[in-house]
Structure 1
Amino acid sequence: MPTPYRYVTPVPVDAATGRVAEVYRQIARDFGMTRMPLFLTLSPAPDVLAATWALLRESLLVGEAPRAAKEIVAAGVSLANECPFCVDAHTVLLHATGEHRLAESIARGERPPDPEHARLFDWATGVTGGGRTPQCPPPCPQEQAAEHIGTALAFHFINRMVSSLLTADLLPAGLQRSRLVRRLGGGALSRAVRRKPPRGEALPLLRGLPAYREPGWAAGAPMGAAFAALLACAREGAALLDDEAVEAVLEAVAVWDGGHPPLSGWPSGPLADVAPARRPAARLALLAALAPYRVTDADVAAWRETGRGRSDADLVRLLAFGAISAVERVEAALDVPSR
């Protein structure tokens, strides 16, 4: 049977141990799914897996903001990033909240009809900048702002990893394109979605992982510790590049305006000064940052050849470095208190 996994072999749920097994158990309990392709595909790198799950859990699943509102943010960011897998997933999750009309509006790529929902959607689709100044803080009560910012930044990272490592289909043969299937899928998840897990229970999964200072926008909430850990773990992927390649990637991200890169002459131009032997790794990192939906079999094969068969864990960490570089650029564009 076809699987959604493109370039890594996930750690099976029934064979997982240690930190990976702990993450899988918490996902099953709090998300209501025993097998989530995104987290399975991150499993070769347990540190990236744990930090990504912790950020998603502590921003999207817990807190005071309505779950449907945060699903609008997740879906809006995913639309802006051209990540159909994530758009479909959060359409199903909107059905799970009971917001059926809203779910189908977003499935069609439309602006939600409710004005409050529309403002959140506009904020979420504009948080990269893209030639316009994003609205910040998000259009919500002040005490809910951190949850929306955390959700947006989580999905800027998640979209990039999903687009790089998974196919576009949430379900086999694209079954998620059926309105009936979306609604039935939402019904199956409705009980889990309507629960409110306690704050902070993902933080023990981060024991022993590196972390930076927590961002000011998190206002001391557990999502801040999760974001700080994800930054540190994902940045460690820079060790798979030489200094010249790291500089080229970061310089290209620094001048990114939030739009989609041109189809012609990119990313060759930004990487022109990188040594040819180092270019495949730099190309993957830069694609993950700014155009992850353009990662191809040939890109990954070229990297594996020059890297003498690097592991799945290395691939996850290399892509995570590119993805987190873009997330930091988005965070800066939001003009929110950082570290």
Structure 2
Amino acid sequence: MPSPFRYTTPPPPKSATGRTADVYAQLTDDFGIDRPSTFVVLSSAPELLTATWALMRESLIAGEGDRTGKELAALGVSEANRCPFCVDAHTMLLHATGDHALANTVARGETPADAEHARLLAWGRSTRTPGAPELTPLPFPRAHAPAYIGTALSFHFINRIVSALLTENLLPGNVQRLRPVRSLVGRSVAKTVRRRPSPGASLALLDDPGPGPDWARGTTVGPAYAALRTAATTGAGLLDEADRILVRETLQGWDGAHPTLAWDGLPDRSRPGARLALLAALAPYRITDEDVTAWREPVHTDHCLVHLVAYGAFAAVDRIESALPVHTLNN
């Protein structure tokens, strides 16, 4: 079977020890999927793997709110980011919630008949765009905001990792595009998806991350988000100061749009680190073999590449988070 990994060779999951093994065990128990490639691809950098899992678990899986609604938000995010792998995954997970008609509707690219479902999907799509009118009012109860926002931000990060470092094939031959396959796979994890495990289990895998942002104050989502921010931003050390400034200034002025093919602000391969980080942030699906080869010197391991992509990905997440109209939720 062809490998799903584009530029790295992650350690074999069966060889995992310590926190990596603990993450895989929690994935199996709480996500219902054994060692999914979306997380295995991060295992070259265990600190990123652990924090990414923590944010997804504490928001999408264990957080407050309806799982169907959060899957719709995650699907909307994945559509906005042009990540077909994650779009297909969340469509199958909608089957797992039991709402097969809804799953089939969104798979056809149609708007859900239920107005609340339609608003949640539109909200997820709109989180990519600062100031989008669909962001307010919130399409979920205020008490559920940390889980919904955490879900959206976790998939803004995961989408970029997936698009940069995995192939688009969720299943061999893209058979997940077939309705019977989507339904079957969804039913296989339905029991796990329809229960909500207790919050906090993943936090035991983190090293005192801090409370996190105000919008997640007092929840397990906050420390998970703080841990991912810390782990992802360490990739800045792989760039020189001029490249870090370029990434920061580009993201500050980003309006959520996908870059055109004639992207004037994208450096050429003479600045390969900045190029990779900016592509990971704004158009990870455009990363090529030549881009990776231009940057990857003998000293750059898989651990380094995963961290550089994560740095770019989180630069986009940070821009998105800062623009969301949620920073007064707990005031």
TM norm. shorter chain > 0.5: yes
Contact 2:164 2:284 in 1 (8 A): yes
2:199 counterpart residue number: 199
Contact 1:164 1:295 in 2 (8 A): yes
1: distance between equivalents of 2:259 and 2:97?
A: 35
Contact 2:130 2:323 in 1 (8 A): no
1:269 counterpart residue number: 265
Contact 1:75 1:106 in 2 (8 A): no
1:239 counterpart residue number: 237
1: distance between equivalents of 2:319 and 2:210?
A: 16
Q: Does 1:286 align with 2:278?
A: yes
**What amino acid does structure 2 have at the position aligned with 1:219?**
R
Cα deviation, residue 308, structure 1: 2.8
Structure-1-length-normalised TM-score: 0.93
1: distance between equivalents of 2:137 and 2:220?
A: 19
2: distance between equivalents of 1:54 and 1:286?
A: 25
Deviations 1:140-163 (A, max 9, x none): 111111111110011000100000
After superposition, residues 207-218 of structure 1 pair within 5 angstroms as 207=207, 211=209, 214-218=212-216
The answer to which of 308-317 and 48-57 deviates more is: 308-317
**What secondary structure, in the 3-state scheme, does the structure 2 residue paired with 1:181 have?**
helix
The answer to which of 213-222 and 329-338 deviates more is: 329-338
1:66 counterpart residue number: 66
Deviations 1:51-94 (A, max 9, x none): 00000000000133111110000101000000000000000000
**What amino acid does structure 2 have at the position aligned with 1:178?**
L
Moved over 6 A (4+): none
Cα deviation, residue 164, structure 1: 0.3
After superposition, residues 135-154 of structure 1 pair within 5 angstroms as 135-136=135-136, 138-154=138-154
Cα deviation, residue 221, structure 1: 0.6
Structure-2-length-normalised TM-score: 0.95
2:53 counterpart residue number: 53
1: distance between equivalents of 2:267 and 2:134?
A: 29
**What amino acid does structure 2 have at the position aligned with 1:281?**
G
**What secondary structure, in the 3-state scheme, does the structure 2 residue paired with 1:246 have?**
helix
Could you list the runs of 5+ residues in structure 1 that have no partner in the other structure?
Answer: none
Could you list the runs of 5+ residues in structure 2 that have no partner in the other structure?
Answer: none
2: distance between equivalents of 1:123 and 1:197?
A: 25
Cα deviation, residue 180, structure 1: 0.5
2:168 counterpart residue number: 168
Cα deviation, residue 313, structure 1: 0.5
Given the alignment, which residue of 317, 329, 338 partners 2:307?
317
Given the alignment, which residue of 277, 294, 303 partners 1:302?
294
Deviations 1:169-222 (A, max 9, x none): 1000111111000000001010110121100000011126xx465111113110
Contact 2:85 2:168 in 1 (8 A): yes
Indicate the RMSD between aligned Cα atoms, in angstroms: 1.7
Aligned residue-pair number: 329
Contact 1:128 1:330 in 2 (8 A): yes
Contact 2:277 2:308 in 1 (8 A): yes
Amino-acid identity (%): 53
Contact 2:59 2:147 in 1 (8 A): yes
**What secondary structure, in the 3-state scheme, does the structure 2 residue paired with 1:6 have?**
coil
